[in-house]
A = this chain, B = another copy of it.
Amino acid sequence: MTAVVVQLKTAPPATRRRSGPDRWPEIVTVAAELFAEKGYEGTSLRDVAERLGMLKGSLYHYISGKSDLLVHVLREAHERGVNALAALAQEDGPALLRLEAIVAAHARYVCTESVFTASFIEAHRHLAPDRAQEFVTAERSYRLLIEGLIARGQAEGDLRPDLDPKVAALCLLGFLNSLHGWVRPARRLSIRRICDHAIAMGIGGMRAQ
């Protein structure tokens, strides 16, 4: 993952014609906030425009409609999340240490990017299959990375050999995303403390005795 990829992925569509200050990053962030607050179905393009202090018509300089906006929010969510996390899996060292690094980073992402996590978790299913495909593919390859690390951790003797790597990977990713359901930035818990619990509880149960 490089800066070039980031730029490519979050750049607005070619139909954009607006001059003046580029409000594209703000549009994506505000849309993510509203999808998180009111749900995708409960959010209208009028809501997005109002919060931005724009006319609804001006949004069409950037996007062709609400589902187009959702695609861009999800790309941003993926760029900040899955892609960055997957990069951690490529580094050297025992699989158990790679897994710990990924679990900590994933937990931190869910805690700090809760607005994008919400879109990632909930808004997905509102896309037509052909538009959802890129995200399904990216999530599958992230899951396969985790699965591969678990299998390697078993081969290295650090993880319980009786677990099915695929089921364990699904359990682990479900657990990490579920932090979104209760972690609130305003709570007294530090992110560090939450990450500690995520490592203990997400990986502890997989460790060989």
Q: Which A positions have Cβ atoms within 8 angstroms of B?
A: 39, 41-42, 160, 163-164, 167-168, 170-172, 174-175, 177-179, 181-182, 189, 193-194, 197-198, 200-207
Contacts of A206 in B (CB 8 A): 200-201, 204-205
- In the complex, residue of chain B having the shortest beta-carbon distance to the beta carbon of A42: B41
Inter-chain CA distance A207–B189, complex, in Å, is 22
Contacts of A163 in B (CB 8 A): 197, 200-201
Contacts of A171 in B (CB 8 A): 175, 178-179, 197-198, 201
Contacts of A170 in B (CB 8 A): 182
Q: Is the CB of A193 within 8 A of B179?
A: no
A201-B206, A204-B204 known; A167+B179 contact, CB < 8 A? no
- Quote the shortest CB–CB distance from A107 to chain B (angstroms): 10
Inter-chain CA distance A179–B41, complex, in Å, is 24
> What are 24 of the A-B contact pairs (CB < 8 Å)?
A39-B41, A41-B41, A41-B42, A160-B204, A163-B201, A164-B193, A164-B197, A167-B194, A168-B197, A171-B175, A171-B178, A171-B179, A171-B197, A172-B201, A174-B178, A174-B181, A177-B181, A178-B178, A200-B206, A201-B202, A201-B205, A201-B206, A204-B204, A204-B205
